[in-house]
Amino acid sequence: MKPIYKNTILSQQICGTTYEPLSQENLQKKDAPIRLAQVEIDTAGLSRIKTKIVYSNFISLSLGKDALIDLTFRLTKRKKTADNKSEMNTRLEHWNLISEASTIVIDDTITPFQLRFFDQSRVSNEKKIIYMIDLNRIITRNASYKIVNQSMTALITNEPQ
């Protein structure tokens, strides 16, 4: 007779760490990305996991005449092995937030921004999986922004083998 827990699917929600970014006017692809948030998953005892990543924030925008703001957010994944060696980062997805204004001036408007991503991983000798949200491109013209009230979570489900 098999134990009843053998086929049980276990779920766990993990809160991530957020960082307060400095507002920059421009950030090109050649520049180092700005880390906004990350969440670490301890994979000890897990075999096949499904992960739902949710990142959200509010972006305070001020747009002048003929304004443009283009922010590119990137989600990456890094695996760490039991001997604490890191594999290369895997870029999973990227999202753009673009706002333009032509003849009107917009002062201090708040824009909610939310990203969701689903990932599936087979875990072998990984000790941790780290998901990271970075701001990796910023283009502004007659505009300013501030990222506030950030949150990042991972909902993981371990499937039986």
With 0-12 / 13-18 / 19 or more C-beta atoms within 10 angstroms meaning exposed / middle / buried, residue 102 is: exposed
Is residue 132 in a domain?
yes
| CATH code for the domain in which residue 124 is found | 2.60.120
- Half-sphere CA count of 28, side-chain side, radius 13 A: 1
Query: DSSP strand E in the chain: where?
Result: 10-15, 17-18, 34-42, 48-81, 90-101, 106-122, 126-159
Is residue 55 in a domain?
yes
Tens-place pLDDT, residues 50-92: 999 999 999 998 888 889 999 999 999 998 877 777 777 889 9
Is residue 56 in a domain?
yes
Is residue 121 in a domain?
yes
Q: How far is CA 28 from CA 38, 125, 136, in A?
A: 21, 35, 7
Question: What pLDDT band is residue 5 in, cutting at 50, 70 and 90?
Answer: very low
Q: Which of 54, 58, 62, 67 has the alpha carbon at shortest distance from 111?
A: 58
**The pair of three-digit structure tokens given for residue 4, joined into one six-digit string:** 């009843």
Residue 2's pLDDT is 47
Sign of CA dihedral 81, 83, 87, 89: positive
Is residue 4 in a domain?
no
Is residue 84 in a domain?
yes
Tens-place pLDDT, residues 101-138: 777 777 888 999 999 999 998 887 678 899 999 999 89
Is residue 74 in a domain?
yes
Residue 11's pLDDT is 80
Task: Count how many domains the chain has.
Answer: 1
CA 32 to chain centre: 16
Is residue 8 in a domain?
no
Q: Which domain holds residue 122?
A: 16-159
